[in-house]
Structure 1
Amino acid sequence: MTTVKYLAEPDLDKAHNFISSAVAQRDMIVMAVKCSVAYEGRGASRLGEGDRLVIVKPDGAVLVHRPTGYSPVNWQPDSHVITVEKQDGRILFRSVRKRPREVLEILISRVYFVVAIHGLLDDAEFIEYLDESEIADYLARHPDLIEEGLRVVRRERPVEGGYADIVAVDKQGRYVVIEVKRVTAGIDAVKQLHRYVEMFRKANAEAKVRGILVAPAITKDALSLLTSLGLEYKHVDVARIHKKAKQERRHSGSLSLLDFIGKRG
């Protein structure tokens, strides 16, 4: 059963007791406070006093947000020990990790509000996908996923009315104009590919040109139109590409902020 408790503009004694109890029960805690923040561990940092949003999760993760921006200014991916003490008329919230040893201290001088939520559950599967540009980038590096023997000539080739995602040459020396979609391809995607193929043929009158629509799925009407226009469809597993692309980023040392936070934890 989920329960929610909160205090608005409490004095620091009430806030201290409330936060201590919520930490002991492993509640989700969300509080708007005036505070300063100190961190010591792999490095060290100090953040002067200001208004912050502090989130403490049941697994011990702690995030400190400024009023603007989406990234936390300080965070602890998990905590082995959390303590809440009164110190010189303020509240000292301390999160400690053992391996590696990291200490995050939040010194609170005022509490605007604090909410404690007990019993939150979330067991849903999270599936993250790349955007179309990232999928096309990956396929340009691994064209055999589209067709064996393809050799990429250009990524994002300008054609009249837009940009072809990938232009390649197949084993028989024919040009292949490739349009990539992240979700189920419909009739508009087929018309887009057909337009790019025709523009490419117009600019390269002597060339033999194919067109391939790459997507995780395609509607029946779109597939029928595609076939009637002499174009082709290639299924790709977007989730698998995401997994492989993430592995490539890790091996190359190129990590996004989310990858970095996951690795740090």
Structure 2
Amino acid sequence: MTSINAEYGTTSDGLMAARIDYLALIAIPNRDGQGYRVATALPGSKPICQWSASDALGSEGQIADEAGFRAHVEECLLHLRQREALGRTSIHQPVPSPWGPSQTATRYAEGIVCHETASHGGFHLDKARNAAMHPVLRLPAGWYEEDGDWARVAAAYPDIFTDREKRSADRILRDWLPDAWEAVHGRQLGRSESFTRDREGFARDHSADWIVISAARSPDHPGDVIGTATIGGQRANAPTRSFLIPGSEYAAGRHGFVIDTTRHLLLD
């Protein structure tokens, strides 16, 4: 039976909080009053009742209410329990890596080691492990950086990752390496399933439209925005035009703001 458990409480400033082993979480209300940001915290050994919003550091995502916060905490708890059960071990392996000398290393399985350096990190797979990967996932050198390429390793060897890690890896592949995801799973992704596929669809839909590539507040029309746009949102040596956009309407959007030439005033 694992010894990792969750402790819930309320901070000194009345915020929902929880501690799981070394992980401290605080629900910080959003400025618009809608929902909360789940923040990681560094409160040291203080009891939860002595924590405060000032202890908050990074962000773990958004939740709607107390039920959402508890669900998030329970997901983190399951992740840490599963990680403990996987039996990953710290090893001393001072090898050179693409990001500098390895300072610490964790063995996930035989032939699969995660290295940390002073500035970055990632996985190294030995020749046998790397050769066994699906060709669309494999990187020839066997090094997989921690920001995105690690998802290739998780897709190839899911049994050595937690459920939370596998969901994160799947999302990374869908959004940023959809060709690889489709080759592994044998089907095409829809626009709603992949950021890249949605961006490609947006580009097709608006290839002849003016798309804002930069924006600034208008000095002559308080509250409005001057949007500099190009056809299709192209950036390399593309002709530009400037349009006046109502400030209440302008939002960068998921892939860019589309100019309506019948309503947005051309300033050039």
Range of TM-score over shorter length? under 0.3
- Give the structure with the higher percent strand: 1
Asked which structure has the greater CA Rg, the reply is 1
RCO higher in structure (CA 8 A, sep ≥6): 1
